[in-house]
A = this chain, B = another copy of it.
Amino acid sequence: MAAPSVYTYLLLFCSTTMLLLLCSPFACAAGLSLDSVRDFLTREEDTIVFSLIERAKHPLNTPAYYYDDPAACFGTADRHRNVSFAEIFVRESEAVQAKAGRYESQQEIPFFPSGAPFTLAPPYNFTTDLHPAAASINVNDAIWNIYFNQLLRLLAKEGDDGDYAATAASDLACLQALSRRINYGRYVAEVKFRGEQQTYTALIRSKDKDALTKLLTFEAQEDVVKRRAEKKAKVFGQDVTLDGPTTETSGKNSSQSSFKVAPSVVYKLYGQWVIPLTKQVEIEYLLHRLD
């Protein structure tokens, strides 16, 4: 009769330990490590490249982006002024997603926070890996401007096929992927802060942005990221045929135009915008890490 008793205690001990682990803040943070952060960023590259390739399927479709043009609001019940169709589309789609709880996860930040109540999704207790005072740091405004004013023209060919809704849905997918990746700088900063708490604390207290930037910069690693993103544009953006070799194996002579999105554009996107903006998020997060 002793054996079941031992098992019972063992079971009770295990359950209690599990419960404590699940409830402690340590458990919440347990998932965050340099490795998990790196894995996340690497996987997001695929998402970003897929979304860019999908946007490039549509022509530029400029009427979707007109501001101040009455034609852009044709038939609208209330004539939105100075708001493009794409912006209205993103606002309305984000409102549905807010209601569905997308922004309950700290990994997602809307471009137009509406304060719409989260009423739709099944409940879930999200863990909190970020420091509360710095958790809402984001550069969505910069991402929005770069996407519409610079990147879009490098992705899409001139033309108008009228599929404005499908096009704006592709824009939304690009914006969300870029926002999630770049604003993940908060997690990068958090994990680095935890790793070298003393060093960071001193620099944060002295508000030494330059020293923080230096501490957060690894040029060799940044170069790897840019070249890997460029390679993904080649691998994912090639025309796959059954018998022919994949572009990657057919050598380095393939021109930029044989891919659905020019690999050089993805290289530039990472070098000029994604990496610098991520670093900006990291620094702003750290400057509020002790608030």
Contact = CB atoms under 8 A, between A and B. Distances in A.
Interface of A: 43, 46-47, 50, 53-54, 57, 63-64, 66, 71-72, 74-77, 85, 88-89, 92-93, 96-97, 99-102, 104-105, 107-108, 118-126, 160, 162-166, 168-169, 173, 224, 227-228, 231-232, 235-236, 238, 240-242, 245-246, 248-249, 260
A108 to B, nearest CB: 7
A122 B168 contact: no
B57 A50 contact: no
B97 A165 contact: yes
B50 A102 contact: no
> How often does this chain occur in the complex, in copies?
2
A169 to B, nearest CB: 7
Contacts of A168: 100
Contacts of A160: 124
B164 A121 contact: yes
Contacts of A123: 71, 74-75
22 contacts: A43-B57, A46-B53, A63-B122, A64-B121, A71-B122, A74-B121, A74-B122, A75-B120, A77-B119, A89-B100, A89-B120, A93-B93, A97-B169, A105-B163, A105-B166, A124-B160, A124-B162, A125-B162, A224-B242, A228-B240, A235-B240, A246-B249
